[in-house]
Chains A and B, each alone.
Chain A
Amino acid sequence: KAGVTQTPRYLIKTRGQQVTLSCSPISGHRSVSWYQQTPGQGLQFLFEYFSETQRNKGNFPGRFSGRQFSNSRSEMNVSTLELGDSALYLCASSLITGSDSPLHFGNGTRLTVT
C-alpha cells in the first residue's frame, strides 16, 4: 500500500505570495490532518478534515486554509505569505477520525519564504 504522498517536496516563495500544498492519503483513509513544524515552535496542529468537512482547527490565522475532496485528497493554502511561514508542512492520514486513530505522516513539503 502506498504511503501518504505530499507534493511538492520543496517550495520557495516570496513574501506576499500564496501557496497551495497537496496531500494524497493512504487509500481508504478518510481523515487528513495538517501540521506545521519549525525549529522554534516544533510541531503544531493546523486542521483536520474528515469526509470533506473540517472537524478541528488549530490556533493559526485565517491565512491558513484547507479543503478535502471526495477522494479524500486534501490541499492546504497559505495566502499573503510571511517570512515566519517558512516551515516543514506535514500531512497525516488515518482510517477514521477519533482519539486513538493511528496517524500516518507524509514526508512533508519544505516551504521557504524569502
Chain B
Amino acid sequence: KNQVEQSPQSLIILEGKNCTLQCNYTVSPFSNLRWYKQDTGRGPVSLTIMTFSENTKSNGRYTATLDADTKQSSLHITASQLSDSASYICVVGPLGDMRFGAGTRLTVKP
C-alpha cells in the first residue's frame, strides 16, 4: 500500500476558479512534505517544502497546508490559469527515503 495517497486522481476546472488537492500520508517518521508541479514531458518543479513545524506555506497562487496530527496536506490553487494544467505530486520523507504520491492530474479549461 502506498504510504502517500493523493486525491482526486484527476480534476477538471474552469479558468479563474479555485481548487484544492489532497495528500494523506502514513510515512513515519516525518521529516518534510513537498509539493511538485509536473508539466507533461518535463521534470517536476518544486512548489513548496514544509517541515513538521509549518502549517502553511505559499508560493504565489499556490498555498500548501499541513496538519501533522492527522497526517494530511492540501494544495490550494487560487484563480486558476490555463498554465496550471499539470500533474501535482505530493512527496513525503527525506532525500534518500522519499515516498511519492501518484499525483493529481489537473486540467484547467477556458
Q: Which residues of A contact B (CB under 8 A)?
A: 4, 31, 33, 42-45, 48, 55-56, 90, 92, 94, 97-108
Contacts and interface: CB of A to CB of B under 8 A. Distances in A.
Interface centre among A56, A99, A104 (most CB of B within 10 A): A99
B32 A102 contact: no
Nearest to A106: B43
Contacts of B96: 33, 45, 48, 55-56
Interface residue tally on B, bucketed by range? 20 to 34
A101 B95 contact: yes
B79 to A, nearest CB: 25
Interface of B: 31-32, 34, 41-46, 49, 51, 89, 91, 94-98, 100-103
Contacts, number: 55
Given A42-B103, A45-B97, A97-B95, 16 more contacts: A33-B95, A33-B96, A42-B89, A42-B100, A42-B102, A45-B96, A48-B96, A90-B43, A98-B94, A100-B51, A103-B46, A105-B44, A105-B45, A106-B43, A107-B43, A108-B42
28 contacts: A31-B95, A42-B101, A42-B102, A42-B103, A43-B91, A45-B96, A45-B97, A45-B98, A45-B100, A56-B95, A56-B96, A56-B97, A90-B43, A90-B44, A94-B95, A97-B95, A99-B31, A99-B32, A99-B94, A100-B31, A100-B51, A102-B46, A103-B34, A103-B95, A104-B46, A105-B43, A106-B43, A107-B41
